[in-house]
Structure 1
Amino acid sequence: MMVNAALRPLTVKAGALRRQGYVPAVLYGAHIASLHVSIQEKDLVNLFDHVTRSTPVEVRVDGKDTYHVFLKDIQVHPVTARFLHLDLYVADPDRPLEMHVPVRFLGTARGIRDGGILEAVHPYIPVQAMPAQMPARIEVDVSNLGVGDSILIKDLPWAEGVQPLPPPEDAVVAVVARRALEVEAPVAEEAEVAPVEGEEEKPTGGDKAGA
């Protein structure tokens, strides 16, 4: 993926750039001086439809120099969700990187149809790779997973040059049984109520003693 950028003088305020449809950004890395640039917002919207944070992106500045970058930090407006600022990391092409690569789960696990739940143990997997070999995402087909089945780190077809960092026996995804909590309402024991013995009824009328 490639996006165009333009050098921007620091005297230009970020708010003014945004009102003109541009987003301020900075390119930085261990082997270059920081570059302050602006990128058209519409180009960024299109870019983010196709990339992840681990996707190498080409940034062409003023139509001349091209830099291979990764999206390091993205600031968005909390209400409008529009881009406010980007930090773009220029990777050293000769040194490996460690990044968290997102996992995309494909298909519907058959265990779900049997009442199980798909548990994403590793929605992101930390890997080490050279910048040019860094995967944008890791696709995992879960269609054949039944209840109690899992896919481990070692089960994935890792590309040459990509080293997963978690232990090989770590689960990436699993289908677990749905454990419904059966809450039994306590049954109140009926107390035996002993009949109350009443006082014997005294006669209301009696023989009066004669004088």
Structure 2
Amino acid sequence: MTTSKDQHTLHVDVSKRTEFSRSSLNRLRGSGRIPAVVYGGGSDGISIHVEEKQLAKVARTGRSELFDLHIEGGGSFPVLIKEMQRRNGKVTHVDFQKVSKNKPIRVRVPLVYTGTAEGTKIGGILQVQATELEVEGLPDALPAGLEVDVTSLNTGDKLIAANVTLPGGITLVGGEDELLASVVLPRLAEAEGEAENDSTEAGAADAAGDTGDK
């Protein structure tokens, strides 16, 4: 199941950025605006800045959400959020990606796990290995998120990418056997954690040994 999308295309108003010094960036952020760049469309990146409140109304819908970017004096075109840089929990910079509504693109869509795994009722532990899934499709068809119901998972059960129902026109990019989540018994979960720690420590010891030989 996919999470719902707004039936009306969202839009964000931005302005071109003409100053690039550190002090000008600090002034922008201090005034509630975020520096950003627009990539794609066969042209060089366009430096812009966007109001925090304007960004918030699209950022919270998920990175795969398509919306129109209105550049003051520079026209309007559809974009996706490609990347957001954060510092101390606050967004400090944004990369937007121009898209063509008639050309399929690849994006990583958030996975929204729902329900209570059956195995957890008898002491099992739900382990989530993936929070996103890479898919491909036309921009207008991309879901804001993919709901994954874990209710039927019992101890020893695994949820893989092939188990996720994709909307029409959307295809999976990675392997169908990609592990997304599983339910394990506490002892097994503890053993897996110890094995991972032992592997990390062994790797560190090997690296230290290699350094000593040189």
Does the pair score TM above 0.5? yes
Shift of 1:171: 3.7
Q: How many residues align?
A: 179
- Partner SS, residue 133 of structure 2: strand
- State whether residues 162 and 177 of structure 2, in contact with CA within 8 Å, keep that contact through their aligned partners in structure 1: yes
- State whether residues 154 and 183 of structure 2, in contact with CA within 8 Å, keep that contact through their aligned partners in structure 1: yes
Shift of 1:11: 6.3
1:101-112 paired onto structure 2 within 5 Å = 101-112=109-120
Match among 62, 69, 75 for residue 52 of structure 1: 62
Higher helix share: 2
Q: Which has the higher contact order (CA 8 A, sep 6+)?
A: 2
Map of 1:198 onto structure 2: none
- State whether residues 58 and 65 of structure 2, in contact with CA within 8 Å, keep that contact through their aligned partners in structure 1: no
Instruction: List per-residue Cα deviations over 1:77-107 (Å, max 9, x = no partner).
Output: 3x3x332221111123332222222211011
Map of 1:173 onto structure 2: 181
Map of 1:7 onto structure 2: 16
Map of 2:45 onto structure 1: 34
Partners of 1:4 and 1:139 in 2: CA distance: 31
Shift of 1:135: 2.0
Partners of 2:183 and 2:11 in 1: CA distance: 38
Map of 1:120 onto structure 2: 128
Match among 25, 32, 36 for residue 25 of structure 1: 36
Partners of 1:65 and 1:9 in 2: CA distance: 17
Structure 1 moving runs of 4+ over 3 Å: none
- Partner SS, residue 96 of structure 2: strand
Shift of 1:33: 4.3
Partners of 2:184 and 2:90 in 1: CA distance: 38
Superposition TM-score, scaled by structure 1 size: 0.73
Partners of 1:151 and 1:135 in 2: CA distance: 20
**2:78 maps to 1:61:** no
Counterpart residue identity of residue 121, structure 2? R
Counterpart residue identity of residue 67, structure 1? F
Structure 1 or 2, whichever has the larger Rg, is: 1
- State whether residues 159 and 179 of structure 2, in contact with CA within 8 Å, keep that contact through their aligned partners in structure 1: yes
- State whether residues 26 and 88 of structure 1, in contact with CA within 8 Å, keep that contact through their aligned partners in structure 2: yes
Instruction: List per-residue Cα deviations over 1:166-190 (Å, max 9, x = no partner).
Output: 33344432212222679xxxxxxxx
Counterpart residue identity of residue 49, structure 2? S
Q: Percent identity?
A: 26
